[in-house]
Amino acid sequence: MRIAIGGVVHETNTFSNVKTTLASFTTWEWEQGARVVERHRGVSNYLGGMIARAEELQIELVPLCSALANPAGIIESSAYETLKSQLLLSLSEAGPVDAVCLSLHGAGVVEGIDDMEGHLLGSVRSRIGQGVPLVATLDLHANVTEAMVAAADALLGNHLYPHTDSYDKGWEAMDLAVQMAEGRIRPVMHLQKLPLLIPPSTTNLSPAHEVNERCAKWESERRMLDCVFFHGFPYTDTPDVGVSVLTVTDDDKDLAVRAAEDTARYIWHMREQFKQPLLTPEEGIQEALAESNFPVIINETSDNPGGGTPGDATHLLQAMLDANLDKACFAFICDPEVVESAIAAGVGSTIEVKLGGKTDSLHGEPVTIKAYVKCITDGKFVATSPMGRGAVLDHGRSVRLQAGGLDIIVSSVKGQVKDEQIFVLHGIDITRYRLVALKSSQHFRAAFEPLAARIITVDSPGLTTLQLHHLNYQRITRPIYPLDEVDYD
């Protein structure tokens, strides 16, 4: 049996003024043929899981290509055409395959195409015809569409946020593709969309945790293959944005509909509970300083580069400098100019620079600091978080600056902090710090919850703010809760 694998992954924040180009993909990931397997074998992600299951079953893998760019603004049409053409070309060159298994996200937006994954799945379906199983994984933040459901035989999504189950979902996707190819199952899907936006909500805590328990109850039904609560990606201004439930059963449409409708109703009744307490950076710092145990983690959720923000917001940084902290550290601000200045000055020198706040006016002004250059690194490390363990990350040349009692890591390439390795790379043992600040919404929890005395989330103006009514939506389907009152029951 021969099964093709590949993927195109992007989470598009349409409010960002930074377009996603072909160079954005080549910076992060743009692999073809055997390199796809070499890069992902043994890694805790979707493709890693697909490869593992195929090798367990001694299936011949046909690697097509894999592309991934850090979340940012809309994808340039020419970039998408290049990726899609290469995927389809490699599929044609592969000859007959028994199934296709893809790693996608579900919140990709291209210039002129609101639903990248629906478009891509449709193109792949046209190429392979109706008889070849097409299975794909989606991120929990997918804005799932009927076009995706119509084109694919089965779509599997993360249940967990942080997405520590990506490997498992990839493994399941390959397993289902094989079972379909052997004629042992016949997946049927049902998509139930809700007129609901929710801010980033970890499944480690209520209320998303309870929704997952409801999904698990339905999954105990014999013919239920997957029941997923997709949170949607609220920073995408397209008509299909929002929460949905997607069920996959083995040839049981009635069960798929009942489970999806029941879970959707359950989410709707809990909708108020998704509102989170809001603290400003200044309030968060004061709460952290009142703690007797350490380290206290402060996450700046509103500038989460994993959700398409610039990664150079200075709201929390400025508040930390103003508070004149001791034993505090921050990872990381993306500012290639400052990195170059620090490298030019050299380790051991003191520089005066304007740091951050350079991408747009929303994320704060540049902060003028006088700082000591403690060390310079290549910005490369291997992820140890349960989410993506084994992946090689490269944030470009990076430096550790010291301003008073605050250590600040500055990178050349933006990114979300998912584990402590960026601190380790720069010689920082966070367990010896009182206050550890980082840019992430929820993924950091997978690695930092066991290390933290307490986690405090702060929200300031930013493209991944928890305050969705601050976003200038133009194209989403209204009415939608919590922006509008909605009569859904």
Which stretches of the chain bind Zn ion, using CB under 5 A? 139, 141
Tokens representing 206 are: 């209520």
- In sequence order, what are the residues at sequence separation of 6 or more whose Cβ sits closer than 8 angstroms to the Cβ of residue 227? 215, 216, 218, 219, 245, 246, 247, 248, 259, 260, 263
Tokens representing 223 are: 């013919």
- Least distance CB 163 / Zn ion (angstroms): 6
Three-state SS for 102? strand
Cβ distance to Zn ion smaller for residue 142 or 323: 142
Cβ distance to Zn ion smaller for residue 141 or 169: 141
First and final C-alpha spacing in the chain:
47
Tokens representing 479 are: 């009415």
Distance CA(258)–CA(358), nearest Å, equals 50
Tokens representing 120 are: 């891509």
- Least distance CB 71 / Zn ion (angstroms): 9
Cβ distance to Zn ion smaller for residue 98 or 165: 165
Cβ distance to Zn ion smaller for residue 203 or 247: 203
Task: Check: CB of residue 342 under 8 Å from CB of residue 376.
Answer: yes
Task: Check: CB of residue 418 under 8 Å from CB of residue 446.
Answer: yes
- Least distance CB 296 / Zn ion (angstroms): 25
- Least distance CB 442 / Zn ion (angstroms): 9
- Least distance CB 393 / Zn ion (angstroms): 17
- Least distance CB 155 / Zn ion (angstroms): 15
- Please state, as a whole number, how many other Cβ atoms lie within 10 Å of the Cβ of residue 265: 16
Tokens representing 14 are: 């349409």
Cβ distance to Zn ion smaller for residue 386 or 404: 386
Task: Compute the residue count for the chain.
Answer: 489
- Please state, as a whole number, how many other Cβ atoms lie within 10 Å of the Cβ of residue 241: 23
Maximal C-alpha separation, the chain: 69
Cβ distance to Zn ion smaller for residue 166 or 192: 166
Cβ distance to Zn ion smaller for residue 14 or 179: 14
Q: Nearest Cα to 240, choosing from 487, 464, 480, 453?
A: 480
- Least distance CB 141 / Zn ion (angstroms): 4
Residue entry with tokens 């490369």: 380
